[in-house]
């Protein structure tokens, strides 16, 4: 179970859109539509932003969206706001009732 690959950092200015990629393999991201995305502020528990690839939980802004192409999933945040600055993690089902996280991406709002 190798960790999914995410960029270490991304940045954007308020109002812009950014995309965070999450690359896996044909054994995880490529085989299942079960990628989830989490936002984590320092010292806090992770917060679910996207589940089952593209679904938003109740209460999550529609500025957050998820998609997938092949073995790469993506999280797009539009209309970037200062409070979006946080760490973001992807997670995918990896078969045999196991899951695997990405290494995390630090989003900086300039």
Q: Which residues bind another protein (CB under 8 A)?
A: 1, 3, 32, 34, 36, 38, 40, 45-48, 50-52, 55, 57, 89, 91, 93, 96-104
The token pair that represents 19 in the structure block: 């995309």
Measured from the CB atom, is 15 or 28 closer to another protein?
A: 28
3 state SS of 84? helix
> Shortest distance, CB of residue 51 to another protein, whole angstroms?
3
> Distance from CA of residue 49 to its chain's centroid?
8
Nearer to another protein, 28 or 84 (CB): 28
Q: Are strands 99-101 and 105-109 parallel, antiparallel or unpaired?
A: unpaired
Closest CA to 39 of 92, 84, 78: 84
Nearer to another protein by Cβ, of 2 and 14: the residue is 2
13 or 42: CB nearest another protein: 42
Query: The tokens 């900086």 sit on which residue?
Result: 108
16 Cβ contact partners less than 8 Å away, ≥ 6 residues apart: 80
For residue 61, the minimal CB distance to another protein (Å) is 15
Smallest distance from the beta carbon of 49 to another protein, in angstroms? Answer: 9
């Amino acid at each position: 179970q190798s960790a999914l690959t995410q960029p270490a950092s991304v940045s954007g200015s308020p109002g812009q859109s950014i995309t965070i990629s999450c690359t896996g393999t044909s054994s995880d991201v490529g085989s299942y539509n079960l990628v989830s995305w989490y936002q984590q502020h320092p010292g806090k528990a992770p917060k679910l932003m996207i589940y089952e690839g593209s679904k938003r939980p109740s209460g999550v802004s529609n500025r957050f969206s998820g998609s997938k192409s092949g073995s790469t999933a993506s999280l797009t945040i539009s209309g970037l706001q200062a409070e979006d600055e946080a760490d973001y993690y992807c997670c995918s089902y990896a078969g045999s009732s196991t899951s695997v996280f990405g290494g995390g991406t630090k989003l900086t709002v300039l």
